[in-house]
Amino acid sequence: MTARKVLLVRGDREYLVSPGEELGTDLGVLEVPEDPQPGQTIETHLGDEFRVRKLRGPDLFHHFERTGAPMVPRDVGLVIGETGVSTGDRVLDAGTGTGVLAASMARAGAAVTTYERDPEFAGVARENMDLAGVVDSVEVRTGDVTEDLETVLGGDPFDVLTLDTGDAPDVVARGPDLLVDGGFLAVYSPFVEDSREVVETARAAGLVDVRTRETIQREFDFDDRGSRPSTAPVGHTGYLTLARSPGGENPP
């Protein structure tokens, strides 16, 4: 494993750098120390100061190498909040993509097994896990989870399933076998039809508390004239369908 990258920040300038790296900037050359410490000040050869900073969760969204549109911090938060992903959880994730969700759940203490069908994307996701400092708690598997279900079902059940793939219904159908009692399923999809299919599959599989949420967010503007919602709102990202493994025997 390579040494951990950090951010060098000065006002609006923000560089992602490796320990020992030499970086040319418009303010002069920065020599990154071998062991940069958060809060440490580093000067360019022209004397301008940058500060070392650790990456936080929302920074992953901006600094991960992208293989598609990464999940926005809001939606990462909704998945974590609604499923309660936390320390000690085992999570099965499908549709790794850029890996922001997997990394964020790992940073919240979960052990994550994530499937990415595209080998190139899977490679990028592994590098992103390194950047996020979670290589030890995220296993990025190359392949389609639906083709690996028997392997997955042979292991211990998961506390949470998070799905962002077109074949999510095939995994949802096995939800009760994949999840611990009371474990949560979260499926993310931009489309009504896909969400509907997930809901119908979840109900048919005997999952409970099945529900689909749409989230509309707007920024609020505060200026001298007054306070109002932004005229440039945040658009639709996806519907989030949640369901839960039933607890104990479901009496007939």
Binding positions for a copy of itself, 137-176, rule CB under 8 A: 159
The 103-142 site mask, x for binding a copy of itself (CB under 8 A), equals -x--xxx---------------------------------
Binding of a copy of itself by 77 (CB under 8 A): yes
Instruction: Quote the CA–CA distance of 11 and 1 in Å, as a whole number.
Output: 31
Instruction: Quote the CA–CA distance of 188 and 241 in Å, as a whole number.
Output: 6
Q: Which of residues 15-44 bind a copy of itself (CB under 8 A)?
A: 38-39, 41
Instruction: Quote the CA–CA distance of 205 and 208 in Å, as a whole number.
Output: 9
Measured CA to CA in angstroms, residue 248 lies from 180, 181, 208 at distances of 10, 7, 12
Instruction: Quote the CA–CA distance of 117 and 141 in Å, as a whole number.
Output: 8
DSSP state of 134: -
Among 31, 136, 177, 181, binds a copy of itself (CB under 8 A): 181
Token pair of 151, please?
């392997």
Binding of a copy of itself by 84 (CB under 8 A): yes
Is 187:164 a contact under the CB 8 Å cutoff? Answer: yes
Number of residues near a copy of itself (by CB under 8 A): 85
Binding of a copy of itself by 5 (CB under 8 A): no
Q: Which of residues 202-231 bind a copy of itself (CB under 8 A)?
A: 211-220, 222, 225-231
Residue 227 C-beta: closest distance to a copy of itself, Å: 5
Residue 156 C-beta: closest distance to a copy of itself, Å: 11
Sign of CA dihedral 142, 148, 153, 154: negative
Return the number of the residue (15 or 143) whose C-beta is nearest a copy of itself.
15
